[in-house]
Amino acid sequence: MTELEKKLMKQIEHLTIQNEKQAKQIEQLINQLTNMNRRLFGTSSEKNSQGQLSFFEEDNHSPFSEAEQPADKAVEIETISYQRKKYQGQRADITRDLPIVVEEHTLPSDSQVCSCCVSPLKHLGKRAARTELEFIPAHLVKHVHYEHAYECLTCKKTGQNHILRQKAPEPALAKSLAGPSLLAWNLYQKLEASIPYHRQEKEWARYGLKVSRRTLANWTIRSS
């Protein structure tokens, strides 16, 4: 074996030893990184696998050991309970802006007699039994306007035609089905509630009005 071959063999052995050392170091670093990730993101109840090296010293001064909590430690939750008291006149306060409809419950006229002596009963007064709220869903009503004409028969006999016609109120939009309340609701839905026209189209269809979104947009432009 020549001197050159001997040198090459020594270099190969040296490089082989270095590769083995580097492989062991890489394995140790991978184990250390895995252990660190478990300490940072895993539960403290997890155990290290056998053969793995610890990246940190196992002492009480480690900054991560203080933040860890045992997995089986019970979490204490402070429960604060309270009762909300109703103040006097709360119902009247929350419904003060609503219109009032009075429901009178009286005895029928044939029952306003005494059951003992059949004498007429005298009205003593009334008391408030309860207050309840009624929700009236929106609905559409079609108003058909007719203009009535009137003729003077006396003038007609003399050959003069005297005819009076009562004019209907001017529409909100000329040649349009939309009345003032419909236009107001259309503007509210688009400008205030920001409801798109395709959703308005479906809502009007549920009310019985098959109107296109193009017509709704036209109403908004013309009435705003």
Residues 36-92: tens digit of each pLDDT = 888 877 655 545 545 555 544 444 554 444 444 555 545 566 666 666 666 677 777
Q: Which candidate, 76, 36, 35, places its Cα nearest to that of 52?
A: 35
Residues 16-38: tens digit of each pLDDT = 888 888 888 888 888 888 888 88
Residue 89, sorted as left (phi over 0), alpha (psi -120 to 50) or beta, turns out to be: left
* CB-count burial class (<10 Å; 0-12, 13-18, 19+) for 204: buried
The predicted structure's pLDDT at residue 14: 85
Q: Beta strands 163-165 and 149-151: pairing type?
A: antiparallel
Q: Select the more confidently predicted residue: 114 or 78.
A: 114
Residues 167-178: tens digit of each pLDDT = 999 999 999 999
What's the distance, CA 205 to chain centroid? 23
pLDDT of residue 162 exceeding 90, the answer is no
Q: Are 171 and 223 contacting, i.e. CB atoms less than 8 angstroms apart? A: no
The predicted structure's pLDDT at residue 180: 94
**Cβ-proximal residues to 134 (8 Å cutoff; 6+ apart), any chain:** 101
